[in-house]
Amino acid sequence: ISNCGRKEKTISGLSYVDEIYHQDLRFVVTLLLKSGDMSSPGTSMFTNFTRLCKGLALVLVVGHLVVQFIPATVPYLALIPARTIPFAWNLITSGYFELSVYGVVFSTVSLLFMGKFLEPVWGSKEFLKFIFVVNFLTYLCVFVTAIALYYITRLEIYLYMPFAGFHGVLAGLLVGIKQIIPDQEILLLKIKAKWLPSIMLILSIASSFFTLDSAAYLPTLIFGTYMGWLYLRYLQRRPETKLRGDPSDDFAFSTFFPDFLRPVIDPVALIFHRMLCGRSNATSEDHGYSTSGAPLPGSDSAEASRRRERGARALEERLGTERLVPARNKDELQSDALDSV
């Protein structure tokens, strides 16, 4: 995995680039939030869903209808560990349909709302790539875990339990929200966004002790959360810096846990980090950044302003005809967002 070594120690140049990157992200998010506030309050929440998310929602609905009207398709589409070797495509197809009506309604609505927020920030191509990679890795881990549990316990339920559903990807998308606006309070809940993945997992683990259905969802949610974090932490390419991942301390693995547990979690996370990235210590010179204390290119305020303007133009292009605000308010909106940054 490229650029992993830079995460083992703080380098001034990379810290600066990381700070600028997060400033750009917060600017785009501020623009989105402000545009949502200025839209018609009665309809803005339920409109302007992206075309990609509508298409994915349609896939979920059609997939559910197929397995409801043709139940014989379930062994060919769902992940059943005992049959995955001959039907390897299950590792992909299992994530794009739901077995229950409640599941398809929840997944469709969650996808539309989270996609409406994340896709303009990441871009459609990156958003789709995230969904595909996280879905595949999640069900690959579920398959390996089920096989391991069977050999440990010799219980055949682990081999023949069907795993399906989009909730693993939804868990990963929650991690994306945690990354972009960790300190933003969620309306009504009064909970900061950075705690959403952790709260979701706690509730899922608690409910798994009481219902078998919840226990079937639990591995997908856990691996979906972890694979979402792994992708954003190490793999997602930043167009602003040409680097991969997010090495900031605010997005470390230990931030999923309460503060008093972090001294215990950090050493364990470091072990897995070195397993993934090796012990190489990449220097900033490898990526063209200065660490000698000299100012980096683009460190002046004029360059920062130009960077924010480019972010505004990029966002407008992504929104296209589905702008969240009327055209007559565009200049005022951009001015307010730039001032907030």
pLDDT, tens digit, 9 for 90 and up, residues 164-183 = 999 999 999 999 999 998 88
Q: Looking at residue 38, which CATH number applies to its domain? A: 1.20.1540.10
Nearest to 110 by CA among 206, 254, 221: 221
Count of structural domains within the chain? 1
Helix (H, G, I), strand (E, B) or coil at 247: coil
Is the distance from CB of 253 to CB of 271 less than 8 angstroms?
no
The reported pLDDT for the residue numbered 238 is 74
Nearest to 130 by CA among 191, 163, 179: 179
Distances from the Cα of 189 to the Cα of 63, 192, 195, 196, 197, angstroms = 32, 9, 11, 10, 14
Nearby residues of 128 by Cβ (< 8 Å), 6 or more positions away: 52
Cα dihedral 46→52→53→57 (10° resolution): 120
The reported pLDDT for the residue numbered 318 is 58
pLDDT (tens digit per residue) in 51-77: 999 999 999 999 999 999 999 999 999
The reported pLDDT for the residue numbered 43 is 47
Nearest to 299 by CA among 75, 6, 16: 16
pTM over the 0.75 mark = no
d(CA 137, CA 139): 6
The reported pLDDT for the residue numbered 210 is 83
Residues 155-188: b if buried by 16+ CB within 10 A, e if exposed: eeebeebbbbbbbbbbbbbbbbbbbbbbebeeee
Q: Which residue range forms the structural domain that includes residue 135? A: 5-340
d(CA 119, CA 131): 11
**Amino acid identity for residue 66 in this structure:** V
d(CA 300, CA 37): 32
State CA 125 to chain mean position distance: 14
d(CA 330, CA 194): 30
Q: What stretches in the chain show pLDDT beneath 70?
A: 1-46, 239-241, 276, 278-341
The reported pLDDT for the residue numbered 98 is 94
Question: What token pair was written down for 265?
Answer: 């979690």
Is the distance from CB of 245 to CB of 17 less than 8 angstroms?
no
Is the distance from CB of 240 to CB of 28 less than 8 angstroms?
no
Is the distance from CB of 19 to CB of 11 less than 8 angstroms?
no
Hey, CA dihedral for 56, 58, 60, 63, is it positive or negative? negative
DSSP for residue 83: G
